[in-house]
């Protein structure tokens, strides 16, 4: 079923169109589902009212951001409520003001940043890389997601370590695995791979590589040389 987006509400782009059970193209898909075609897309932005405490959080953010000379609509590209979770897609230039208010406003009190994850969407032209944070309010027992996108030719987003110091190593990991540069980070270096490693292993275009594995007399080839049945 294709979701119906109300008139005037911006849509989020299609992530990918995949063939086969595992999205294999030419090699790697040995599932027998080579004719399967799936469209992968974001859930659409949600209109107000969002329902429950989501509206309270959005209203408090709007009031707080106005003190910084912003508005909720100026800072947030889209708000998505899906599967019992709320996600704020925030403009990169307003991220620091946004998370500062999340932490400091007495009606919000998102005291904990649970870390940041990188995501690579190769087919989202101009927004190929996403940084995704989860925040927890211990006071109100609430959790939200904040997402910022960046283009492949300039994968930069602001660091939030100045507001949430515990995000330090998480941002280093996202940089190490995806090449997302967190501007303002106090020491953005690799944390998992050697310092002289070339490339970013969790990008979708990173070569699979690998070595053959022997298992009870059988040989399993590395992923990039396996036979495809599509």
Q: What is the pTM of this model?
A: 0.84
- pLDDT higher at 134 or 18: 134
Tokens 């005037």 sit on residue: 8
**Taking Cα atoms as reference points, which of 112, 156, 107, 106 lies closest to residue 130?**
156
The burial class, CB within 10 Å (0-12 / 13-18 / 19+), for 74 is middle
Is pLDDT at 6 greater than 50 in this prediction?
Answer: no
Q: Give me the pLDDT at residue 137, please.
A: 98
**What band does 95 get if pLDDT is binned at 50, 70 and 90?**
very high
Is pLDDT at 1 greater than 60 in this prediction?
Answer: no
Q: Give me the pLDDT at residue 3, please.
A: 41
Is pLDDT at 27 greater than 70 in this prediction?
Answer: no
Q: Give me the pLDDT at residue 150, please.
A: 96
Domain 41-198 class?
Answer: alpha beta
Give the C-alpha separation, 115 to 216, whole Å.
Answer: 41
Q: Give me the pLDDT at residue 25, please.
A: 60
The burial class, CB within 10 Å (0-12 / 13-18 / 19+), for 118 is buried
């Amino acid at each position: 079923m294709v979701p119906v987006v109300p008139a005037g509400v911006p849509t989020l782009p299609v992530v990918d169109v995949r063939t086969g059970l595992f999205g294999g193209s030419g090699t790697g898909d040995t599932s027998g589902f080579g004719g399967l075609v799936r469209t992968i897309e974001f859930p659409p932005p949600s209109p107000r009212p969002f329902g429950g405490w989501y509206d309270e959080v959005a209203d408090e953010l709007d009031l707080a951001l106005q003190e910084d000379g912003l508005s909720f609509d100026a800072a947030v590209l889209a708000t998505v409520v899906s599967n019992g979770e709320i996600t704020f897609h925030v403009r990169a230039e307003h991220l620091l003001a946004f998370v500062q208010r999340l932490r400091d406003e007495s009606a919000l009190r998102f005291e904990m940043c649970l870390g940041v994850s990188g995501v690579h969407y190769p087919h989202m032209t101009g927004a190929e890389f996403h940084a995704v944070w989860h925040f927890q309010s211990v006071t109100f027992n609430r959790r939200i997601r904040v997402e910022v996108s960046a283009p492949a030719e300039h994968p930069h987003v602001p660091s939030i370590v100045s507001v949430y110091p515990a995000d330090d190593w998480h941002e280093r990991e996202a940089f190490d695995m995806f090449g997302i540069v967190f501007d303002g980070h106090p020491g953005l270096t690799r944390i998992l791979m050697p310092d002289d490693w070339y490339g970013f292993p969790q990008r979708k275009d990173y070569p699979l590589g690998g070595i053959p594995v022997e298992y009870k007399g059988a040989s399993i080839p590395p992923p990039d040389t396996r036979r495809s049945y599509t």
